Amino acid sequence: MLRCGRMGDIEHQQPFTEQSEILDPYHFYAAYIFDRANEHQADVQALIEQSKELGYPVRYWWLSNAMDLQGSPDRLIMCVHHPSRSADAGLDLYEILKEEEVTWDDLDAAALEEYVQLGKPVENLGDLRMPDGQMPYPEATPGENTHAHEWQAAALFIISIDAVCEASEERLGRDLSGEEFAAILVKFQKNLDWLDWTVYLDEAIQHCLKTGEVRQASDDSPGYELKIVD
C-alpha cells in the first residue's frame, strides 16, 4: 500500500501521470482473471487487441506476485484501465468480448495501487512472462526479438512509488500527506525526463569491455565509437 498516499488521501488529490497514462483512483481498473492461462491464449490475445482498439491501457501480473499461494495454482490477471468515472465504465469492452465468446474465470475491480505496483504494461502476447521468466505463449514472439521482449518485460528502470515515498520522508524527517507526496512525485518525474542515463550506460559497457564480457566492434564496423576510459 502507498504509505505516503493512503487511499483516503489519494482520492482527494489530483491524478498524476505515468508516461502518457493518467492514473486516477476513481477510474475503473477491470481485472480479468484466468486460471490455467496456457489454455486461454486466444482469449488473452482478444482481450489485448480489443482493449488497444478502444484505447484502454493493459497491464498484467500473476496472483503469486501479490500473495503467497501456499501451493494453490497461479492465476493470470489482465487488468484493463478504463479512464472513466462513469458507472458503466468498461461495459463496452465487456460486451465486445462476450460477443466474440471470449472467456475468463473471474472478473474483479483492481485498486490503483495494485495496477501501479504489480502491473507490467503489455502490448501483445509476446510481452507476457510467467513469474519464473518463461513465456506462457512461446510462439507469440519471433526468436530474433526474444531478448528485447525479455528486457522490456523486466521493467529494469522502474522506481517503485514506495521507494520514492520512503526516501522523501527520510530526507524530510517526517511522514508526508498524499497531497504533499503527489507534488513531489510530479516534480521528480519531470526531473527523470531530463536524466542523461547514457552516461551510466557508457560506464557499464566500459566495465564489460574491460572484463571481456562484451567485445568491441571491428575497426571497419560502423556505429558508435566507445573509448575505454582508465
The pLDDT tens digits of the residues spanning 40-62 come to: 999 999 999 999 999 999 999 99
Q: How far is CA 35 from CA 62, 99, 117, 161, in A?
A: 10, 21, 22, 29
Lowest-pLDDT range of 78-92, 107-121, 154-168:
154-168
For residue 193, CA distances in Å to 11, 134, 162, 188 come to 26, 31, 20, 9
Kindly report the pTM of this predicted structure: 0.56
Least confident residue range of 23-27, 34-38, 74-78: 23-27
Helix (H) / strand (E) element for 180: namely helix 178-193
Q: How far apart are CA 38 and CA 57, in angstroms?
A: 22
According to DSSP, the β-strands at 58-62 and 120-121 are: antiparallel
Q: Which three cell numbers stand for residue 195?
A: 536524466
The number of C-alpha atoms within 13 Å of 170 and in the hemisphere containing its C-beta is 6
**Cβ neighbours for 205, distance < 8 A, ≥ 6 positions apart:** 214, 226
Fill in the DSSP letter of residue 194: T
107, 47 contact by CB (below 8 A): no
Q: What is the pLDDT of residues 170-224, one digit of tens each?
A: 998 999 888 888 888 778 877 776 777 777 788 888 888 888 888 877 665 445 4
Stretch 63-92: mean pLDDT: 92
Query: Of all helices (H) and strands (E), which one includes residue 22?
Result: strand 21-23
Residue 63 confidence (pLDDT)? 95
Q: Which of 23-27, 132-136, 158-162 has the lowest mean pLDDT?
A: 158-162
Q: Between residues 8 and 107, which one has the greater pLDDT?
A: 107
Q: How far apart are CA 59 and CA 32, in angstroms?
A: 11
Rounded CA separation 52/180 (Å): 34
Per-residue confidence (pLDDT) for residue 211, from 0 to 100 = 87
The type of residue at 197 is: W
d(CA 31, CA 97): 14
Annotated domain spans of the chain: 7-154, 197-230
User: Which has the higher per-residue pLDDT, 156 or 52?
Assistant: 52
Instruction: Report the length, in residues, of the chain.
Output: 230
What is residue 226's DSSP assignment? -
Residue with more model confidence, 229 or 79: 79
